[in-house]
């Protein structure tokens, strides 16, 4: 299969990107300044991320669509206000996570942002579940640009007037170069920021203007260190079909009202796990020294019994030390529990810790 | 009189008397990206030519550090363990990794000189 390029490919090249293949796309892993600088620049100023490889699924419909989607997602969609967004997941009947996503109520229906590696399969699953009753477009004509970090609101507002008045997890249509762009105040770095859905032909121009205003392109490498410091999950690593939202410690994203009804896919298992507990659960893990415990690192308890595995681990530039997430047996999931990580044949001490590693600074209640 | 030689695994080695100082090349650091962790061999241990003698990790991945010659580890550079970013800043000088009392100077013969290494690095830019 031919490797795809996003509409910012030329710009990435102009900015000396190093590319990697990711989910069938040629994507920038980093630029000339490197992951640590890009990470810190995002935390302190403003970073731009090309996330055009992600799926932008538009589903058109009204009341009936809301009812049908509530059979799929554990969300109170009836009460989701126009232009408001929720984090959710697509589960199978055993509550295994097939993808995690952001769903936004728009005028004509819903916009769902899907992971690049999952989007085609998600589309198939949703089409089947919705019995082809609704028009569904996995829109390849639009790019998705994220701008993240404390200076992003001012920078983006200079280019697209009015965005600074958006609240966290809400969006609206704005104009850029007389084109309609859909912008939400959201992101995946633990910083205040925005995601901009824009026609491919205008993505390059918008991004260059944001760079002119002082933002910088940031690659997938720093996106990973930023999201991990923020305690956010990466699908295919921290989440997959063998893990449920309860095991993933994402109960906050499941609507209590919907649990009481229990009429969505996977609800039997979710309710059972909420009532009876789970055997394994996602936790934050902080190694004591500088050792980096990466994905698949085995976790042991103090009696040298294997109790779990790391699902994401790296060096956190803002924490200035190693950070990790993983799944451990429930009885070892309490904060400050001492565990041992096996790296290159040796065991290193670490502690279970609460997430995030780095405190979020989302903007709530602008208005 | 000392000469710096280079290995295909992107280490440099500088021999003074029978003590060799070993580190990783600038080219290696550019390929690795930001180095955030370094592990060195233990002082007093013996390492074998082309064997593992340490680890460096970038934000992205871990890579072994090999020794291009055999010998006894007589010194290690604690400074790069405490602040691995020094490896990116000055890889071929102050950010050396370890010093070996070498066993067999003839092991140096198969290594590359600077011109050959530069050419090799250019051709193997991955």
Provide the pLDDT confidence category of residue B60 given band limits of 50, 70 and 90.
confident
pLDDT score, position A170: 97
Quick one: DSSP state of residue A166? P
State whether B36 and A315 contact (CB < 8 Å): yes
Residue A239 lies in a domain: no
Which tens digit of pLDDT belongs to each residue from A288-325?
Answer: 999 999 999 999 999 999 999 999 999 999 999 999 99
Q: In Å, how far is B109's CA from the nearest CA of chain A?
A: 32
Residue A358 lies in a domain: no
Which tens digit of pLDDT belongs to each residue from A217-249?
Answer: 999 999 999 999 999 999 999 999 999 999 999
Q: Which residue in chain B has the smallest CA separation from A221?
A: B60
Provide the pLDDT confidence category of residue A362 given band limits of 50, 70 and 90.
low
**Using a CB-CB distance cutoff of 8 angstroms, which residues of chain B are in contact with residue A17?**
none
State whether A221 and B33 contact (CB < 8 Å): yes
A290 and A170 in a common domain: no
Strand partners, A196: A145, A183
* Cα dihedral A93→A136→A101→A18 (10° resolution): 130
pLDDT score, position B126: 55
The tally of domains found in chain A comes to: 2
Six-digit token string for B77: 């550079």
CATH number at residue A297: 2.40.30.110
* Average pLDDT for chain A: 96
Q: How far apart are CA A218 and CA B125, in angstroms?
A: 23
Q: Are the C-beta atoms of A79 and A85 separated by less than 8 Å?
A: no
A141 and A290 in a common domain: no
Which tens digit of pLDDT belongs to each residue from A71-111?
Answer: 999 999 999 999 999 999 999 999 999 999 999 999 999 99
A218 and A281 in a common domain: no
| Partner-chain residue, chosen from A36, A225, A292, that has the shortest CB–CB distance to B57 | A292
Rounded alpha-carbon distances, angstroms, from residue A18 to A13, A34, A143:
8, 10, 20
State whether B33 and A35 contact (CB < 8 Å): yes
Which tens digit of pLDDT belongs to each residue from A242-292?
Answer: 999 999 999 999 999 999 999 999 999 999 999 999 999 999 999 999 999
Q: How far apart are CA A37 and CA A42, in angstroms?
A: 9
pLDDT score, position B2: 67
**Residue A110: which residues within 8 A CB-CB, separation 6 or more?**
A58, A59, A65, A69, A77, A103, A104
Question: Helix H segments across chain A?
Answer: 9-14, 35-44, 63-70, 119-129, 152-159, 200-212, 220-229, 256-261, 267-276
Rounded alpha-carbon distances, angstroms, from residue A55 to A142, A201, A316, A324:
10, 17, 28, 27
Residue A124 at interface with chain B, using a CB cutoff of 8 Å: no
A331 and A214 in a common domain: no
State whether A317 and B59 contact (CB < 8 Å): yes
**Residue B108: which residues within 8 A CB-CB, separation 6 or more?**
B5, B13, B15, B69, B102
Q: How far apart are CA A108 and CA A115, in angstroms?
A: 22
Six-digit token string for A43: 């935390």
Q: What percent of chain A has pLDDT over 90?
A: 97
Q: Are the C-beta atoms of B98 and B56 separated by less than 8 Å?
A: no
Residue B57 at interface with chain A, using a CB cutoff of 8 Å: yes
Q: Are the C-beta atoms of B32 and B58 separated by less than 8 Å?
A: yes
pLDDT score, position A169: 96
Burial (Cβ within 10 Å: 0-12, 13-18, ≥19) of residue B17: exposed
Residue B74 at interface with chain A, using a CB cutoff of 8 Å: no
Residue B78 at interface with chain A, using a CB cutoff of 8 Å: no
A271 and A182 in a common domain: no
How much is the pTM? Answer: 0.93
Chains A, B: CB contacts under 8 A, how many? 42
Residue A71 lies in a domain: yes
State whether B37 and A344 contact (CB < 8 Å): no
Residue B34 at interface with chain A, using a CB cutoff of 8 Å: yes
Buried b / exposed e across B49-85, counting CB within 10 Å, b at 16+?
beeebbbbbbbbeebebbbbbbbebeebbeebbeebe
Q: How far apart are CA A303 and CA A301, in angstroms?
A: 5
Q: Which domain, by its residues, includes A257? A: 251-353
Ramachandran class of A364: left when φ > 0, alpha when ψ lies in -120 to 50, beta otherwise: beta
Over 90: is that where the pLDDT of B1 sits? no
B-contacting residues in A 18-77 (Cβ below 8 Å): 29-30, 34-37, 39
A282 and A222 in a common domain: no
pLDDT score, position A361: 63
Give me the mean pLDDT over the A58-81 stretch.
97
Q: In Å, how far is B59's CA from the nearest CA of chain A?
A: 6
A270 and A205 in a common domain: no
pLDDT score, position A363: 63
Q: In Å, how far is A29's CA from the nearest CA of chain B?
A: 10
A178 and A75 in a common domain: yes
Q: How far apart are CA A363 and CA A149, in angstroms?
A: 11
Over 60: is that where the pLDDT of A366 sits? no
Q: In Å, how far is A336's CA from the nearest CA of chain B?
A: 24
Give me the mean pLDDT over the B72-94 stretch.
97
Residue closest to B95 by CA, chosen among B103, B104, B84: B84
Q: Which residue in chain A has the smallest CA separation from B85?
A: A36
A-contacting residues in B 87-126 (Cβ below 8 Å): none
**Using a CB-CB distance cutoff of 8 angstroms, which residues of chain A are in contact with residue B36?**
36, 290, 292, 315, 317
Topology adopted by domain B3-119: OB fold (Dihydrolipoamide Acetyltransferase, E2P) (2.40.50)
Residue closest to A234 by CA, chosen among A313, A297, A312: A312
Residue with tokens 């995601």: A195
pLDDT score, position A367: 43
Kind and range of the H or E element at B75?
A: strand B71-76
Which tens digit of pLDDT belongs to each residue from A8-40?
Answer: 999 999 999 999 999 999 999 999 999 999 999
């Amino acid at each position: 299969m031919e490797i795809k390029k996003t509409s910012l490919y030329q710009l990435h090249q102009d900015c000396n990107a190093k590319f990697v293949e990711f989910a069938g796309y040629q994507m920038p892993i980093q630029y000339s300044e490197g992951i640590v600088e890009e990470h810190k620049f995002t935390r302190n100023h403003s970073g731009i991320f090309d996330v055009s490889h992600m799926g932008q699924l538009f589903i058109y419909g009204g009341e009936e669509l809301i009812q049908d989607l509530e059979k799929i997602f554990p969300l109170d969609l009836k009460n989701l206000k126009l232009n408001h967004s929720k984090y959710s997941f697509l589960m199978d009947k055993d509550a295994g996570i097939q993808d995690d996503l952001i769903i936004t109520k728009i005028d004509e229906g819903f916009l769902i942002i899907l992971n690049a590696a999952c989007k085609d399969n998600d589309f198939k699953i949703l089409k089947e579940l919705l019995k082809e009753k609704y028009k569904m477009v996995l829109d390849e004509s639009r790019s998705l640009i994220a701008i993240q970090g404390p200076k992003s609101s001012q920078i983006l507002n200079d280019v697209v007037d009015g965005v600074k008045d958006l609240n966290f997890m809400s969006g609206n249509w704005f104009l850029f170069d007389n084109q309609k762009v859909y912008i939400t105040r959201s992101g995946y770095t633990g910083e205040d920021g925005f995601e901009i859905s824009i026609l491919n032909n205008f993505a390059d121009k918008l991004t260059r203007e944001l760079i002119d205003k002082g933002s910088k392109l940031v690659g997938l490498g720093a996106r990973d260190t930023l999201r991990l410091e923020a305690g956010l999950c990466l699908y295919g690593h921290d989440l997959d079909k063998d893990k449920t939202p309860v095991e993933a410690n994402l109960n906050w994203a499941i609507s209590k009202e919907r649990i009481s009804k229990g009429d969505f896919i996977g609800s039997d298992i979710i309710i059972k796990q909420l009532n009876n507990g789970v055997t394994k659960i996602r936790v934050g893990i902080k190694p004591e020294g500088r050792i980096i415990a990466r994905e698949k690192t085995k976790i042991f308890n103090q009696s040298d019994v294997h109790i779990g595995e790391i699902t994401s681990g790296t060096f956190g530039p803002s924490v200035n030390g190693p950070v990790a997430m993983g799944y451990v047996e429930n009885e070892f999931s309490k904060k400050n529990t001492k565990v041992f990580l096996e790296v290159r044949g040796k065991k290193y001490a670490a502690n279970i810790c609460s997430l995030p590693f780095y405190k979020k600074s989302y903007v709530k209640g602008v208005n | 009189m000392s000469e710096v030689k280079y290995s295909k695994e992107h280490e440099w080695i500088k021999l003074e008397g029978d003590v060799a100082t070993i580190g990783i090349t600038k080219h290696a650091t550019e390929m690795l990206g930001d180095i955030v962790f370094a592990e060195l061999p233990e002082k007093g241990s013996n390492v074998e030519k082309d064997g593992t003698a340490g680890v460096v990790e970038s934000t992205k991945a871990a890579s072994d550090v090999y020794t291009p010659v055999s010998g006894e580890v007589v010194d290690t550079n604690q400074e790069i363990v405490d602040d691995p970013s020094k490896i990116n800043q000055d890889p071929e000088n102050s950010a050396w990794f370890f010093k070996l009392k070498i066993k067999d100077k003839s092991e140096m013969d198969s290594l590359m000189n600077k011109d050959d290494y530069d050419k090799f690095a250019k051709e193997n830019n991955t």
